[in-house]
Amino acid sequence: MIHVIASIQVKEGSLSRFLEIFKSNMPAVIKEKGCISYVPAVDVPTGLPSQDMNQQRVTVIEQWNSLADLTAHMSAPHMLDYRKKTKNLVENISLKILEQA
């Protein structure tokens, strides 16, 4: 199983629009071969000193059966369309592709 942590820095004032587009794409992603889980999350203020708080960041937590399934996901037509729609809303993206140790 492959785990993905995608950290998406969204431009100031664009978070709600970004999440609207993201969530509208979720049903297509969840139907993809090998998709186990695909969930967007945002930071929750906790007051904990070690928390890296960023209210313009969306963290996507994903699980895929295999690296091949993840690779196919990256080039799926609905993902290409999603990237076009969100291109001007996103400042940068960071990915962590992980497997269980």
pLDDT reported for residue 63: 98
pLDDT reported for residue 78: 98
Neighbours of 73 (CB within 10 A): 19
Residues in contact with 5: Cβ distance below 8 Å, sequence separation at least 6, in sequence order: 59, 60, 61, 62, 95, 96, 98
Q: Where are the domains of the chain?
A: 2-43+55-99
Per the CB < 8 A criterion, the answer to whether 11 and 93 are in contact is no
pLDDT reported for residue 61: 98
The domain 2-43+55-99 having CATH identifier 3.30.70.100: the answer here is yes
**Token reading at 79:** 């993902």
Neighbours of 2 (CB within 10 A): 19
Along the chain (101 residues), what's the average pLDDT of each consecutive run of 10 residues?
Answer: 98 97 98 98 93 94 98 97 98 96 94
